[in-house]
Amino acid sequence: MRSAVNACVRTQTLVICGAMTEPIELEGGVFSQELPGGRAGARITVSVDGVQAQTSEGHRFRLSFEQCRLTLGGASGRMWFCRDEARGITIFSEGPALGAALAVHASPPLRAQLETVEAQARAAQSRSQLLWIAGLVVLVVLIGIAYFGVRRAAQASIDLVPVSADKKLGELAFENMDHDGKELKDPVLLAAAREIVARLAKAQPKSEFSYDVHVVDADIVNAFALPGGQIVVYTGLLLAADTPQQLAAVLAHEMAHVDRRHGMRRIAQSVGVIGAVQLLFGDVSGISAVAIEVLRASTINAYSRDQEREADSDGVARLARAQIDPKALAEFFALLKKREPSLPSALSWLGTHPDLAQRIETVNKLAATQPASAPEPIQLDWADVQAHAKKPAQ
């Protein structure tokens, strides 16, 4: 154990003096899939043993200094993030206190990492001065719609954000997320998913987005789409769908989330007006850490009920334009409802989504309003696709 040595440590804006062995406590939070909603506020303790976060509900998370990977970001640019290499746990705190606490107790390698991150942050702050001046001008405009509330104003501003920001954040999120399984290069599976996505994309010619499809080997009956068009399809979904039309229905729903920019609106809701101002100028560097965590949570807890209804409606219309039976979405929901007790994994389609029975009724009504046209079959050997999903080619 270290002997008590009085010392002072200076970080960006804070000086801490005191005994080097005394634990330091501060307020912050934690991201983890073990938490409801993926995130919670927490009391953080930094000691010679590492960094610990305890939520008000009693959940405890700990990272040793060897595990801790530091980043500095957030909407303010002053939020410290300490996460493990697999990004399963992220402990964070706003302001300089966590950095100062780490400087007191951390091992020399982590202190060196701390100094490097702070130096990068100072350089980025210098480069962003002109951006903040322009941001102040935009804030004056946003104040004019303040009666909608800060969260509404931030979400509404997404309509002015260039789609290049969606693509940057989507790519960053995909690269930094745990996908719960191995990404597959099986040509049969990739060809099937990409063929369906291409047909659906052709049915939405005015969309500003293109799609990059990935297949992941996991027993999860789900697919999700990230801003900008990154789409992940799990083999569990390929095995659960009775027909390629049902897979197309799920993908049409997910593509609607991309076109409606629902993921970006969730990010704006989390980062607030200042973060939205950064997005207006296509700058994702300052909010990328928070955005990635928000998108990770979105793949588990899905979107709001209103956003799900919009995606259902748009997905049905897209299926009809692609000459795919629009009732396939209702058929897939009926399949989920029937199999719900035996499904191998908690689905984002269940729980936080609108009631499945209600959705089935609504989707069938929407399908009945679509222009009448004879559906064209999806030319896939579905039995072969499912055989590969059971045992994918390496």
List the pLDDT tens digit at each of the 394 positions of the chain.
343 434 444 444 444 444 456 788 999 999 998 898 888 999 999 988 899 999 999 999 999 999 999 888 777 778 889 999 888 899 999 878 888 888 888 888 888 888 888 888 777 666 666 566 656 656 655 554 443 454 555 555 566 778 888 888 888 888 888 888 999 999 999 999 999 999 999 998 888 899 999 999 999 888 999 999 999 999 999 999 999 999 999 999 999 999 999 888 887 776 655 555 555 555 555 566 666 676 766 655 567 888 889 999 999 999 999 999 999 999 999 988 887 665 554 454 454 455 788 889 999 999 999 987 888 999 999 999 999 999 887 6
pLDDT of residue 274: 53
pLDDT of residue 21: 61
How much is the pLDDT for 147?
39
Q: How far apart are CA 27 and CA 53, in angstroms?
A: 9
Q: Round to whole Å and give the CA distance between 370 and 167.
A: 31
Q: What is the pLDDT of residue 266?
A: 81
| The model scores a pTM over 0.75 | no
DSSP collapsed to 3 states, 91-143? EEEECCHHHHHHHHHCCHHHHHHHHHHHHHHHHHHHHCHHHHHHHHHHHHHHH
Ordered domains of the chain (ranges, CATH): 6-126 (2.30.29.30), 163-390 (no CATH)
Cα angle vertex 295, ends 290, 298, to 5°?
A: 130
Distance CA 342, CA 162 (A): 43
The pLDDT of residue 74: 75
Distance from CA of residue 3 to its chain's centroid?
Answer: 44
| Burial (CB count within 10 angstroms: exposed 0-12, middle 13-18, buried 19+), residue 257 | buried
